[in-house]
Chains A and B, each alone.
Chain A
Amino acid sequence: MILNTNAKNTWCIGCGNFAILNAIKAVINELVAEGLPVENIVLVSGIGCHAKIVDYIDVNSFYSLHGRVIPPATGIKIANPHLKVIGHSGDGDAYGEGIEHLIFAAKRNIDITVIVHNNRVYGLTTGQYTPTSPEGYKGRSTPYGTKEMPMNPLEIMLASGATFIGRGTSGAMESLKKIIKEAIAHKGFSIVDVLQTCVTYYNMYDYYDKRVYELKDHDPYNYDQAIGKIREWDYNKDAKIPIGVFYKRESPVFEESFKPSGAEGRDRSNGIKKILAESV
């Protein structure tokens, strides 16, 4: 399937979002080829450059608000657990305005996947710092450099109970596809932080090229190994940057706590009258 829409792509030439777009389209095609009905896929996005991705893919989508990818994705999964719900979020979306939702989604272990387009800069609002910009980052709102340290979102996710944590980059397509596919296949809350380069406001291609390496001989079911690898690079220090699947754990998923009670289709009018009569 081509999966294209007639929407004109308005991302800058060289934008890391193209890699994520191509990766997710390839993964959707693979999933459909393997038997997943395409109508059961729902993409959710927030606001910002990343969010336009839903305009560019011809599948069900819910173009949400800034910071609000997770709650509708959660609602969709609660309403219809048969759907594959894949959220695309920016780093401002996921780690700034919407961080409470992200933490709670991990805590609940709702079976959705969140792909964070983390370019460590606000692109569409012209280059301000984000929760993962390094200390001293000079943007339009911080001309003398930020005075805050970035957060390590993956460490926060681990602490919040996420059952799948991965990282990819827009510079490593094959690896990115593999991680995203594994995240979607995971039953439970999965997050993939994608180091996605903004060519206009924060071009990190060279920086990442020199430091990024793929995890090898790593046991994602081992918590201690996971936390070690998650802390290896803290989004600030000049260190090697591992990509791959850091952590995986099996755990009951939130949406299954709503078991159908068999009351579907029952005469509600009589049910209400019965409740009232019993309380007289």
Chain B
Amino acid sequence: MNEFSVLIGGKAGFGIDKASLIIASLLGQLGYRSYIYRDYPSLIRGGHTFSIIRASTEKVATYRDQIDALLALNQETVDLHKARLKGSGIIIYDSDSVNAGTVSGVKNAIGLPLTSIIKEEKAGEIMRNTCIIGAFAKSISIEWNTLDATFRKNFSKELDQNLKVARRAFDTSKEFTALKKLAKERLPLVTGNEAVALGLVRAGLKSYIAYPMTPSSPILHYLANLAEEFDLKVVHPESEISVIMMALGIVYCGHKVAVGTSGGGFCLMTEGLSFSGMAELPVVIVMGQRPGPSTGLPTYSCQTELQFVLSAGQGEFTRFVIAPGDAEEAYYASQLALQISWKYQIPSIVLTDKAMAEGTYSFDIGSCDEIKEEAAALWDGRPPYKRYSNTDSGVSPLAFPGKPGVVIKANSYEHDEAGISTEDPAVTVKMQDKRLRKEKYLAAELENYESVKVHGNKNSATALLCWGSNKGVCVEIANMLNLKVIQPVIMSPFPAGRFRKALEGVNKVIAVENNAMGQLTKVINTYGFNVNASILKYDGRDFSLEELEDRVRKVIG
């Protein structure tokens, strides 16, 4: 068996998230690579929440609808997901809460009285999740030692109690199949958010400011926990407006800073984004997309903010926008964003989506590109210092308050080279030209980067066009159907030349996007490129492998 998918489901509050991480970690102990798809409603307790853990011998970055094992902590999970189970699939359920009749058609079924076991062991109700994992491990013939080691890695408290309940289920379960152990290096599990956070840290982040908002809040939590390890100042202020303005104050002092949010919070940040463009204060904004308009579906996924981030903020200014497609790309993208921001003194946006941000990947840092840190353009010390001196590249030398002999004036108004407000028409044009000139140099530098990635069969005349988290599913489909994949990663300045090159030999372009209006399609239209067909999905769920395969087959005929 080259891959194996497990669905675990129950109500929010049942510990589904933790359980899915342990399952992926368990399969990781056997050498498998994983992707975890998370599906949960916006509430704290109740509703229906589930995760699909897809493990494979090769790197995966999407989920399958079809599953090999169903772990049901309640009746609803059986009712909603039984149809996904393969004929050879295994179902393990809590016989205290699931009607056995509803699983009677399943060949490999095992009901365990989880609620009773928990009671007998005087364990918390939440431990039904680790109990069912014990049974699952046995069902795929994982040795107790492997399970024991996985638990020890994943629990800092109540380890013994968790092991005890898992052991009871392990001993009463049955072996249905055996997953072979792979001779592969084991990889850590990292979410897209965590990869972004680590990339920022790697590129010299000193401070992270954010107001909680799904799907980006985990970056705030993760970095708050790493603050001591990397000497970070992590702040959660009163609003997103405060977030970006506080960040700009920090930048003014020479500290590398990033902020994180989703569309709604980004709306509030746009005044600060525009200010960053005017005052040339480098800031990185991590923008995790979720469906709108407005509050939309807070905990689900989409790709609807591309056009928003490309044009957000009043006025015209240079910005860098990058949209990574998986954890490794996210690690690289956030480094590059911080670097480019500081090199050009412009705002950068790392555009993620919930599928990637909260999706979990087996992360191979060894396969990631790393940036070589470049020093910022600092003032050489020769007076007079002018914060906004009009240079050839448009990039002016930096100095930070506290430096003797220098007066540093950041200004949201149009200003002269010294940073003093002006309404003079000639100075206005000169300064606007200076700021916009940076884009030309940035675009030239980006020629050296893989700003448009090509995957699959590079000679195929049919190409899937995708961006963000759709990379994983599109690459798999392309490999299966012998297609090419074109994935723009840098969205601003748009790499039109490289995009044209990627299109060479292609006569049919099929855009795959998680939105209703074809946002990337619209972007490429403005550069004179067109698509022949669009596969759009906008129900808040990203494409499963089967669904996209089916839809691509229909288009290619």
* A interface list, Cβ under 8 A from B: 5-7, 37, 39-40, 42, 44, 47, 52, 54-55, 58-65, 68, 70-80, 82-83, 100-101, 104, 258, 260-264, 266, 268-269, 271-273, 275-277, 279-280
Tell whether, in the assembled complex, residue B238 and residue A74 are in contact, meaning their CB atoms are under 8 Å apart.
no
Tell whether, in the assembled complex, residue B201 and residue A276 are in contact, meaning their CB atoms are under 8 Å apart.
no
Knowing A62-B410, A63-B410, A272-B198 touch, does A71 contact B227 (C-beta < 8 A)? no
Question: Is B231 at the interface (CB under 8 A from chain A)?
Answer: yes
CA distance A263 to B404 in the complex (A): 27
Knowing A39-B401, A72-B245 touch, does A58 contact B207 (C-beta < 8 A)? no
Q: Which residues of B contact A75 (CB under 8 A)?
A: 209, 245-253
Question: Is B376 at the interface (CB under 8 A from chain A)?
Answer: no
Q: Which residues of B contact A52 (CB under 8 A)?
A: 421
Tell whether, in the assembled complex, residue A62 and residue B249 are in contact, meaning their CB atoms are under 8 Å apart.
yes
Tell whether, in the assembled complex, residue A280 and residue B408 are in contact, meaning their CB atoms are under 8 Å apart.
no
CA distance A82 to B403 in the complex (A): 12
Tell whether, in the assembled complex, residue B406 and residue A39 are in contact, meaning their CB atoms are under 8 Å apart.
yes
Knowing A6-B420, A61-B410 touch, does A264 contact B250 (C-beta < 8 A)? no
Tell whether, in the assembled complex, residue A72 and residue B365 are in contact, meaning their CB atoms are under 8 Å apart.
no
CA distance A280 to B418 in the complex (A): 52
Knowing A76-B250, A280-B28 touch, does A261 contact B231 (C-beta < 8 A)? yes
Tell whether, in the assembled complex, residue B405 and residue A71 are in contact, meaning their CB atoms are under 8 Å apart.
no
Q: Which residues of A contact B250 (CB under 8 A)?
A: 75-76, 78-79
Chain B residue, CB-CB nearest to A97: B241
Question: Is B189 at the interface (CB under 8 A from chain A)?
Answer: yes
Size bracket of the B interface: 35 or more
Query: Which residues of chain B from 264 to 292 have any CB-CB distance to chain A below 8 Å in the complex?
Result: 271-272, 275
Shortest C-beta distance, B412 to chain A (Å), equals: 5
Knowing A61-B410, A263-B228 touch, does A76 contact B420 (C-beta < 8 A)? no
CA distance A261 to B227 in the complex (A): 8
Question: Is B190 at the interface (CB under 8 A from chain A)?
Answer: yes
Tell whether, in the assembled complex, residue A79 and residue B254 are in contact, meaning their CB atoms are under 8 Å apart.
yes
CA distance A59 to B28 in the complex (A): 58
Tell whether, in the assembled complex, residue B402 and residue A80 are in contact, meaning their CB atoms are under 8 Å apart.
yes
Tell whether, in the assembled complex, residue A63 and residue B228 are in contact, meaning their CB atoms are under 8 Å apart.
no
CA distance A101 to B239 in the complex (A): 9
Question: Is B81 at the interface (CB under 8 A from chain A)?
Answer: no
CA distance A251 to B227 in the complex (A): 24
Q: Which residues of B contact A63 (CB under 8 A)?
A: 409-413, 415, 419, 421
Q: Which residues of B contact A39 (CB under 8 A)?
A: 401-406
Tell whether, in the assembled complex, residue A261 and residue B238 are in contact, meaning their CB atoms are under 8 Å apart.
no
Tell whether, in the assembled complex, residue B401 and residue A42 are in contact, meaning their CB atoms are under 8 Å apart.
yes
CA distance A7 to B241 in the complex (A): 30
Contact of A71 among B230, B245, B408, B420 (CB under 8 A): B245
Knowing A76-B249, A79-B207, A276-B188 touch, does A64 contact B231 (C-beta < 8 A)? no
Shortest C-beta distance, B10 to chain A (Å), equals: 25
Q: Which residues of B contact A260 (CB under 8 A)?
A: 231
CA distance A140 to B484 in the complex (A): 63
Knowing A61-B409, A71-B242, A269-B370 touch, does A79 contact B230 (C-beta < 8 A)? no
Could you list some 23 contacts between A and B, CB below 8 A? Answer: A5-B418, A37-B404, A40-B401, A40-B402, A63-B411, A64-B275, A68-B245, A72-B248, A74-B249, A76-B250, A76-B253, A78-B233, A79-B249, A80-B253, A80-B400, A82-B402, A83-B402, A100-B239, A104-B238, A258-B233, A263-B230, A268-B201, A276-B363
Contact of A277 among B188, B254, B400 (CB under 8 A): B188
CA distance A75 to B207 in the complex (A): 10
Contact of B407 among A58, A262, A273 (CB under 8 A): A58
Knowing A71-B249, A276-B365 touch, does A60 contact B409 (C-beta < 8 A)? yes
Tell whether, in the assembled complex, residue B228 and residue A261 are in contact, meaning their CB atoms are under 8 Å apart.
yes
Question: Is B453 at the interface (CB under 8 A from chain A)?
Answer: no
Chain A residue, CB-CB nearest to B274: A65
Q: Which residues of A contact B143 (CB under 8 A)?
A: none
Tell whether, in the assembled complex, residue A83 and residue B401 are in contact, meaning their CB atoms are under 8 Å apart.
yes
Tell whether, in the assembled complex, residue B370 and residue A104 are in contact, meaning their CB atoms are under 8 Å apart.
no
Chain B residue, CB-CB nearest to A274: B229
Tell whether, in the assembled complex, residue A60 and residue B249 are in contact, meaning their CB atoms are under 8 Å apart.
no
Question: Is B235 at the interface (CB under 8 A from chain A)?
Answer: yes
Shortest C-beta distance, B410 to chain A (Å), equals: 5
Q: Which residues of A contact B247 (CB under 8 A)?
A: 75
CA distance A47 to B246 in the complex (A): 17
Shortest C-beta distance, A259 to chain B (Å), equals: 9
Shortest C-beta distance, A279 to chain B (Å), equals: 5
Q: Which residues of A contact B201 (CB under 8 A)?
A: 268, 271-272
Tell whether, in the assembled complex, residue A60 and residue B245 are in contact, meaning their CB atoms are under 8 Å apart.
no
CA distance A222 to B202 in the complex (A): 50
Tell whether, in the assembled complex, residue A280 and residue B187 are in contact, meaning their CB atoms are under 8 Å apart.
yes
Tell whether, in the assembled complex, residue B229 and residue A263 are in contact, meaning their CB atoms are under 8 Å apart.
yes
Question: Is B255 at the interface (CB under 8 A from chain A)?
Answer: yes
Chain B residue, CB-CB nearest to A265: B231
CA distance A207 to B288 in the complex (A): 54
Q: Report the 6 A-B pairs with minimum CB-CB distance, sorted nearest first.
A: A75-B249, A72-B249, A71-B245, A79-B253, A75-B246, A263-B231
Tell whether, in the assembled complex, residue B241 and residue A275 are in contact, meaning their CB atoms are under 8 Å apart.
no
Q: Which residues of A contact B296 (CB under 8 A)?
A: none
CA distance A7 to B190 in the complex (A): 53
Shortest C-beta distance, A10 to chain B (Å), equals: 9
Query: Which residues of chain B from 413 to 444 have any CB-CB distance to chain A below 8 Å in the complex?
Result: 413, 415, 418-421
CA distance A260 to B229 in the complex (A): 10
From B250, B272, B415, name the one whose CB has the most chain A CB atoms within 10 angstroms: B250
Q: Which residues of A contact B410 (CB under 8 A)?
A: 61-63
Question: Is B381 at the interface (CB under 8 A from chain A)?
Answer: no
Q: Which residues of B contact A82 (CB under 8 A)?
A: 402
Tell whether, in the assembled complex, residue B245 and residue A65 are in contact, meaning their CB atoms are under 8 Å apart.
yes
Query: Which residues of chain B from 91 to 121 have any CB-CB distance to chain A below 8 Å in the complex?
Result: none
CA distance A83 to B408 in the complex (A): 13
Chain B residue, CB-CB nearest to A44: B249
Q: Which residues of A contact B271 (CB under 8 A)?
A: 65, 68
Question: Is B186 at the interface (CB under 8 A from chain A)?
Answer: yes
Question: Is B124 at the interface (CB under 8 A from chain A)?
Answer: no
Shortest C-beta distance, A61 to chain B (Å), equals: 5
Chain A residue, CB-CB nearest to B227: A261
Q: Which residues of A contact B248 (CB under 8 A)?
A: 72, 75
Q: Which residues of A contact B252 (CB under 8 A)?
A: 62, 72, 75-76, 79
Chain A residue, CB-CB nearest to B228: A261
- A68-B272, A75-B246, A78-B250 given; 13 more Cβ-contact pairs under 8 Å: A37-B402, A68-B241, A71-B237, A71-B246, A72-B248, A76-B252, A79-B206, A79-B250, A100-B238, A100-B239, A104-B237, A271-B229, A279-B189
Tell whether, in the assembled complex, residue A78 and residue B402 are in contact, meaning their CB atoms are under 8 Å apart.
no
Q: Which residues of B contact A59 (CB under 8 A)?
A: 407
CA distance A279 to B409 in the complex (A): 45
Shortest C-beta distance, A261 to chain B (Å), equals: 4
Shortest C-beta distance, A138 to chain B (Å), equals: 30
Chain B residue, CB-CB nearest to A276: B188
